[in-house]
Structure 1
Amino acid sequence: MAVWYRNALGVVCGVAGAIFVGYCLYFDHRRRSDPNFKKKLRERRRRALRGRGSGGGTVTWPNLKDQEAVQKFFLSEVQAGEELLAQGEIESGVDHLSRAVAVCGQPQQLLQVLQQTLPPQVFQLLLHKLPSVGESILQAAGGGKDGGSKVMEEDVE
């Protein structure tokens, strides 16, 4: 009786597997035959590329008068920059690190540390990004002369 039970169990598992694979193939066919599938796929990919931070215009800057918010933003940007650089996404990593330098209380010291730890070409890219990041933080702050303008004046020298 045990042999019969094992054979029946094998047949049931095989049939269930075949039904599952058929179910997947059927819905994949329906999804791909949808006239809007390619359009939706392209739009989803565009949103994903924009979400990576390629432009830098979608940054939510912290209130520069709130030290806790600035510190939290700084730490998250440094962490994101390090992770992206480790993954080989140089542009996005440099974007995040440049934002961290822009809100840093002591940008010269941070730049010295980054110069020692980053490859020279990546550090040069970071230096080239700093002026545009400084402009964006000034625009976000309403054009006022607060910590962001001081940071960028020191960095350019």
Structure 2
Amino acid sequence: MKTTTIVAASAGTIVTGLLAYAIYFDYKRHSDAEFRRNLKRDNRRLARAVREESAAQGARQIAEIKEAVADAKAEGFPTDPDDKERFFMGQISKGEQLAAEGSSNFEAALAFYKALKVYPQPKDLIAIYDTTVPKDVLEILAEMVGQDTTLQLGSFTGGSTAGSSSGGADQHGVE
């Protein structure tokens, strides 16, 4: 026999087997109440496991964000205007590069956060971030800003400082 005939026969057998299983599964699903209950129970278990994993991952990310913000504060930020400008440009460049790669959204957000800390008008920079930074990075950055109680978003533009540490980021579309 030719190779093409063997391959075609094998493929036909596999397709026929899959089709037969699909028909059997559909028949069982329609006719067997216990089978339907088991399917529903399995789906509920899977959904619960996904929710729990998502909640655990969210809690881990919040802890990582708190630690990163604390570490950034502990490292300190430049005070000299020239050093601030160099630091700002370096962090913006690093953040843009990491965000463009898409490999490390957390590190990109941390770089943008550090740049935000030395920028004279953080609220204006957040408005710029809102239009230029990818949404995933922006969400992490909003959490970082929310964790930093020392970041004064409202005082630089004449706005109120009450509730501005997390509210300022939320009013720019970050949820």
TM-score of the superposition, structure 1-length normalised?
0.48
Structure with bigger RCO (C-alpha 8 Å, 6+ apart) = 1
